[in-house]
Amino acid sequence: MGLLAACGSRAQTGGFHPNGQAPGDGASAASSSGATGGATAGDDAPGAGAPAPKTPQSALAAYRAYQLAYERAYETNDAGGLSAVAMDPLLSKVTQDIGAVRAQGLIWRFHNILNPRVQGSSSDLSTVVILDCVRTLGSYKYSAKTGKRLTSWRGGTVQYQAVMRYSDDVWKISEATEGEKC
């Protein structure tokens, strides 16, 4: 049995586009924009419109969906998709930061590798705390006007604690704290 490895952007339809979305790929764009707030196949997540299960596994799936939406929000300078996966106070903080980045005429592109674990939960399972060692493979700052790459950062690892809250039949991240290297 061989090992198959690849790198590139995440295409929700299973496509492989190393430089991002394929131009003129309306089907991929439509499916990925609709999947921004959802989880990927194989997660413990419900179908569209169905309530999310009130389980730690479903909270983990929602956390992964948030991280994907977070990357996309900075890549596009558009925080609109975050409201499906985040709530205040974190939603306001990230939205303000993306607005500040946009006002500076910048775009950030990065990719995080996740390894989340449930740290604990409330007795009624309405709150789940997730601990993650997030590894940033690389982070690049671009000019929004010219598209020229301005700087890069090699990345690294950081301990990340996220508070997921179950509200209106949906898991959303409400707070996040970065800690030491992990």
pLDDT confidence bin for 47, thresholds 50/70/90:
low
pLDDT value for 90: 98
pLDDT confidence bin for 102, thresholds 50/70/90:
very high
pLDDT value for 46: 52
Q: Is the pLDDT higher at 116 or at 43?
A: 116
Instruction: Answer whether residue 78 shows pLDDT above 70.
Output: yes
Helix or strand or coil: residue 132? Answer: strand
Instruction: Answer whether residue 173 shows pLDDT above 60.
Output: yes
**Structure confidence by residue, pLDDT tens digits, 120-137:** 999 999 999 999 999 999
- The first and second tokens of residue 125, run together, are 């399972």
Instruction: Answer whether residue 117 shows pLDDT above 90.
Output: yes
Helix or strand or coil: residue 43? Answer: coil
CA distance 146 to 33: 25
CB atoms inside a 10 Å sphere around CB 7: 8
Query: Could you tell me the residue ranges of all domains in the chain?
Result: 53-178
Average pLDDT over residues 151-176: 95
Average pLDDT over residues 60-70: 98
Q: What would the CATH number be for the domain defined by 53-178?
A: 3.10.450.240
Which of left, alpha, beta for 159 (phi over 0: left; psi -120 to 50: alpha)? beta
**Per-residue exposure over 22-40, b if at least 16 CB sit within 10 Å of its own CB, e if not:** eeeeeebbeebeebbbbbe
pLDDT value for 48: 61
